[in-house]
């Protein structure tokens, strides 16, 4: 993928945000989500085994499009790509991250929540951004407001999004996809109840398709 190849975002309207504590759960969880219709997976670098989990998914679940989240510096970006990440998600943005993504030719969703951050991202060549944390920064109302001065931007809002407000976010024209963790509840992961995760994924896909068809 080139830096500007974001076609993977059209594979599904929901991107599961995964915090993996046990690498043994990575592959079956990824398979369950892919089976449920959610192939684009963000594995956050919040746990010691995150990079190993990315490598396992990249190696053993070819239908998955696995990326790394909570990437905060160029070194983490490089390590994530080395372990098989196909895209990068950051909670914020910096010139160092912009430059590293361009150099590595890997798609980056830089985190933004203000107009100034959006302008900086655009100046660096990024027009598809992570709006984070979404609910804490005005949610749907803020995204609609930003569409006025920034009609060229598209967003993947993350943070506080769940099944109950999914429709509100996907109804916003500038939203290309949303990120969330509700499809992988901790109790289901701990119980290795992969069937439940597949069903939650399927329900989210069906709901999202209904919303987008009505828009």
Active site residues: 42, 130
Contact 40, 6 (CB under 8 A): no
Helix 74-82 vs helix 50-60: crossing angle, to nearest 10: 30
Q: Are 175 and 140 in contact (CB under 8 A)?
A: no
Tokens 């995150």 correspond to 50
Q: Which residue has the tokens 């500007």?
A: 4
Cβ neighbours around 118 below 10 Å, total: 22
State the Cα–Cα distance between residues 74 and 72, nearest whole angstrom: 7
What torsion, rounded to 10 degrees, do the Cα atoms 130, 134, 140, 144 define?
A: -40
């Amino acid at each position: 993928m080139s830096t500007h190849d974001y076609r993977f975002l059209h594979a599904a309207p929901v991107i599961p945000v995964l915090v993996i504590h046990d690498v043994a759960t990575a592959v079956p969880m990824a398979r369950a989500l892919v089976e449920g219709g959610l192939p684009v997976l963000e594995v956050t670098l919040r746990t010691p085994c995150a990079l190993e989990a990315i490598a396992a998914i990249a190696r053993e679940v070819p239908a998955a499009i696995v990326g790394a989240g909570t990437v905060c510096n160029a070194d983490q970006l490089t390590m994530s790509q080395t372990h098989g990440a196909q895209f990068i998600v950051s909670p914020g943005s910096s010139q160092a991250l912009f430059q590293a993504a361009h150099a590595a030719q890997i798609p980056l969703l830089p985190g933004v929540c203000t107009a100034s951050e959006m302008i900086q991202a655009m100046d660096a060549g990024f027009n598809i951004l992570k709006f984070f944390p979404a609910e804490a920064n005005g949610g749907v109302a803020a995204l609609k407001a930003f569409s006025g001065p920034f009609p060229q931007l598209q967003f993947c809002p993350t943070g506080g999004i769940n099944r109950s407000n999914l429709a509100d976010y996907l109804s916003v024209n500038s939203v290309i996809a949303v990120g969330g963790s509700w499809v992988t509840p901790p109790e289901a992961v701990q119980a290795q109840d992969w069937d439940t995760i597949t069903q939650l994924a399927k329900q989210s896909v069906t709901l999202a398709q209904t919303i987008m068809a009505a828009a």
